[in-house]
Amino acid sequence: MSVAVATLEHHLRAARADGRRLLIPYVMAGVVPDWLDLVRGAAEAGADAIEIGLPFSDPMLDGPTVQQAAALATGRGARPRPLLDSLAGLDVGVPLVVMTYANVAMTLTPERGVGGFVDYLAAVGVRGVIVPDLPLEESAEYLARASEAEVAAVLLAAPSCDDERCREIAQASSGFVYCMSSMRITGERADLATTARETARRLKGMTDLPVVTGFGISTVAHAVEACADADGVVVGSAFMRMLVDGAPVAEVVDAVAAFRRALSSAGG
């Protein structure tokens, strides 16, 4: 196993082995001038890894809140390459996982395509990557290069996937398996989707990788409920909405800490 994949996967496995329920906050890069302070603060507040989104004009899986966050970032002049460069040398004590779309991945280094993108991530110290719109059938080069570059390629499994498809995704993924709670775009919900726990249970029966549920984890109650079956949760829109509405970074860090306390009180 490569060093960086071990850094992400072993980090999460070790936390799980200690009975900890995993918490992965999402931060849109560049959403506010002090967004890196949010990355640092989230790690200090108890995040087990941090997912960093790159702003993109056509985010097919992201709902209104993350789209607004991306628009704020691009309106401030944020662009993928400088945003990634700002991560170089940033050591917050937990792995950083970049989420973006295939268009960005293939054009950031146009002469080398997705392979060059993965190399770029490795060079700035990123330990994992999520490219949700790159189909498994077209990802052989991407997965091979990610392994060579020592970056964990995290794949998503949706409730619509049958058992065979879930098994293929789980086997190809590294770092963790991202369990979509429902067949909907990201965004806050009043209730946790009924498919969230069922999908996590199916994946847990197919892999020993950490299984982390995201999409619509809007409250601490949702997070605790999801972790009855999953190993952890990704929380994005709930935190990004606070920033979009003008909350200071310190307030969002407090919200991350509240999720951590709730998951810890629930037994992790």
In this predicted structure, the answer to whether residue 8 has a pLDDT above a threshold of 70 is: yes
Of residues 194, 160, 202, 142, the one with CA closest to residue 177: 202
CB burial readout 4-43, b (16+ within 10 A) else e: bbbbbbebbbebbeeebbbbbbbbbbbbbeebbebbbbbb
pLDDT value of position 5: 52
CATH, domain range 21-261: 3.20.20.70
Residues 54, 80 contacting (CB under 8 angstroms)? yes
In angstroms, the first-to-last Cα distance of the chain is 27
d(CA 155, CA 85): 24
Cβ neighbours for 110, distance < 8 A, ≥ 6 positions apart = none
Which one of 51, 150, 229, 231 is the catalytic residue? 51
Return mean pLDDT, the chain: 92
pLDDT value of position 184: 65
Q: List pLDDT tens digits, range 253-264.
A: 999 999 999 999
pLDDT value of position 115: 86
Q: List pLDDT tens digits, range 18-71.
A: 999 999 999 999 999 999 999 999 999 999 999 999 998 876 677 789 999 999
Beta strands 232-235 and 128-130 are unpaired
pLDDT value of position 2: 44
Q: Largest alpha-carbon pair distance within the chain?
A: 50
DSSP letter at 33 equals T
* Average of per-residue pLDDT across 76-80: 94
pLDDT value of position 4: 54
pLDDT value of position 167: 96
In the chain, what are the domain boundaries?
A: 21-261
Which one of 9, 44, 58, 62 is the catalytic residue? 62
CB burial readout 193-215, b (16+ within 10 A) else e: bebbbebbebbbebbebbbbbbb
* Average of per-residue pLDDT across 167-186: 88
d(CA 90, CA 153): 20
Cβ neighbours for 217, distance < 8 A, ≥ 6 positions apart = 181, 192, 223, 226, 233, 234, 235, 236, 238
pLDDT value of position 32: 97
Task: List phi, psi (to 5°) of 53.
Answer: -90, 145
In this predicted structure, the answer to whether residue 1 has a pLDDT above a threshold of 70 is: no
| 51 is an active site residue | yes
DSSP 3-state of 229: coil
